[in-house]
């Protein structure tokens, strides 16, 4: 990895990037050797790599930023009353990882919480890093200073969301929850948005999906059931790359938002109208059931 972009050299993102690169090496080792997955829930997987990565990240964050708190997916709850708090997803895309599907990342997002802020209020996202060790891509952002992509082969370059204006010309992405799968309606959104766009990708790592939205590789991303460790870093990447982070009703994104929509800004209105229609059961394009399709095929 070449030098970190000068614009970010002095900030928290540079410290987090060094930690993410180290954790990425660790994950690559586990990925190449192969891991056994355990079940946290329904189909919610966890591996020794998730735990080892969180342990390493927590230890390095403690060395670099001893006065910061940490909130990690694999159980770390440390110093949560402090002015700075890291949201850590030590391995986003565990299902991919466990199956040898090379799309996963590390996500580190930093929130600044000024003194006196109530527990249920959000502070300000100030730094975010998402690192994909397989493709050697490090996405980083600092509040007010922009978002950048660093590759091992080239110097950092600024990230910008896409300029796609119309849903029918867009490429989108989404994800599906691993908890209470039978209670989730996202498959209907997936189907309808597939019919209205160039397509919807389900790649399996929400933080990387957000980074791809920031990089203009997809024009929008939505999911029903995310956590702050999935979204903290990616939300800042999208915002600093010029995009919009909102909830399904159009209100601003919050760290405790489970339903999130990221767009390039230009598609927000069209997608929000679509969401309102879906929740009201309006303007839904019919598609045949498999049985209807089979009956028609027989009749041909």
Using the rule CB under 6 A, is 175 a contact of ligand IPD? yes
Closer residue to ligand IPD in complex, CB, 196/201? 201
Using the rule CB under 5 A, is 92 a contact of Ca ion? yes
Q: Which of residues 95-114 bind ligand IPD (CB under 6 A)?
A: 95
Exactly one of 27, 226, 235, 246 binds ligand IPD (CB under 6 A); which one?
226
Using the rule CB under 5 A, is 73 a contact of Ca ion? yes
Distance separating alpha carbons of residues 179 and 297, to the nearest angstrom? 36
Strand blocks (E) in the chain: 37-39, 45-47, 69-72, 77-78, 84-92, 105-112, 124-132, 137-142, 146-151, 154-158, 171-174, 199-201, 220-223, 244-246, 260-263
Closer residue to Ca ion in complex, CB, 132/265? 132
**Least Å from the CB of residue 207 to ligand IPD:** 7
With CB atoms as reference, the residue minimizing the distance to ligand IPD is 175
* Phi and psi at residue 55, to the nearest 5°: -60, -45
Using the rule CB under 6 A, is 176 a contact of ligand IPD? yes
Closer residue to ligand IPD in complex, CB, 14/56? 56
Site size for Ca ion, by CB under 5 A?
A: 5
**Least Å from the CB of residue 97 to Ca ion:** 9
Using the rule CB under 6 A, is 94 a contact of ligand IPD? yes
**Least Å from the CB of residue 89 to ligand IPD:** 5
Which tokens is 285 given?
């394009």
Q: How many residues does the chain have?
A: 300
Using the rule CB under 6 A, is 89 a contact of ligand IPD? yes
Distance separating alpha carbons of residues 249 and 275, to the nearest angstrom? 8
Closer residue to ligand IPD in complex, CB, 175/265? 175
Distance separating alpha carbons of residues 94 and 105, to the nearest angstrom? 9
**Least Å from the CB of residue 230 to Ca ion:** 4
| CA angle at 113 for the pair 109 and 118, rounded to the nearest 5° | 125
Of ligand IPD, Ca ion, none, which one does residue 24 interact with (CB within 5 to 8 Å by kind)? none
CB 136 within 8 A of CB 20: no
Distance separating alpha carbons of residues 292 and 298, to the nearest angstrom? 10
Which tokens is 239 given?
């915002």
Exactly one of 137, 142, 230, 240 binds Ca ion (CB under 5 A); which one?
230
Cα dist from 191 to 100, 212, 222, 287, 288, whole Å: 27, 21, 13, 9, 12
Query: One symbol per residue from 130 to 159: x for binding ligand IPD (CB under 6 A), - otherwise; what is it?
Result: ------------------------------
Chain residues in the site for ligand IPD (CB under 6 A) = 89, 92-95, 175-178, 204-206, 223, 225-226, 230
Chain residues in the site for Ca ion (CB under 5 A) = 73, 89, 91-92, 230
């Amino acid at each position: 990895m070449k030098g970190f972009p000068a614009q970010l050299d002095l900030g928290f993102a540079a410290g987090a990037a060094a930690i993410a690169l180290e954790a990425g090496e660790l994950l690559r080792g586990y990925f190449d050797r192969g891991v056994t997955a355990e079940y946290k829930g329904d189909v919610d997987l966890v591996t020794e790599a998730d735990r080892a990565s969180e342990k390493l990240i927590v230890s390095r964050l403690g060395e670099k930023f001893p006065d910061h708190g940490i909130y990690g997916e694999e159980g770390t709850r440390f110093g949560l009353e402090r002015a700075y708090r890291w949201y850590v997803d030590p391995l986003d895309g565990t299902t991919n990882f466990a199956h040898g599907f090379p799309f996963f990342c590390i996500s580190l997002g930093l929130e600044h919480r000024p003194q006196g802020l109530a527990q249920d209020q959000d502070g300000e996202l100030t730094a975010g890093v998402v690192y994909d060790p397989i493709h050697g891509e490090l996405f980083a952002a600092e509040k007010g200073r922009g978002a950048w992509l660093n590759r091992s082969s080239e110097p950092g370059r600024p990230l910008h969301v896409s300029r796609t204006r119309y849903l029918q010309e867009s490429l989108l992405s989404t994800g599906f929850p691993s908890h209470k799968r039978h209670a989730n309606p996202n498959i209907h959104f997936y189907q309808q948005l597939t019919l209205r766009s160039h397509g919807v990708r389900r790649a399996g790592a929400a933080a990387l999906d957000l980074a791809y939205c920031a990089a203009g590789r997809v024009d929008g991303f939505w999911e029903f059931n995310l956590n702050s460790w999935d979204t903290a870093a990616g939300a800042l990447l999208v915002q600093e790359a010029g995009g919009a982070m909102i909830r399904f009703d159009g209100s601003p994104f919050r760290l405790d938002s489970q339903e999130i929509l990221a767009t390039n800004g230009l598609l927000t209105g069209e997608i929000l109208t679509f969401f309102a229609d879906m929740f009201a059961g309006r303007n839904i394009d019919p598609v045949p059931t498999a049985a209807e399709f089979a009956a028609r095929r027989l009749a041909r």
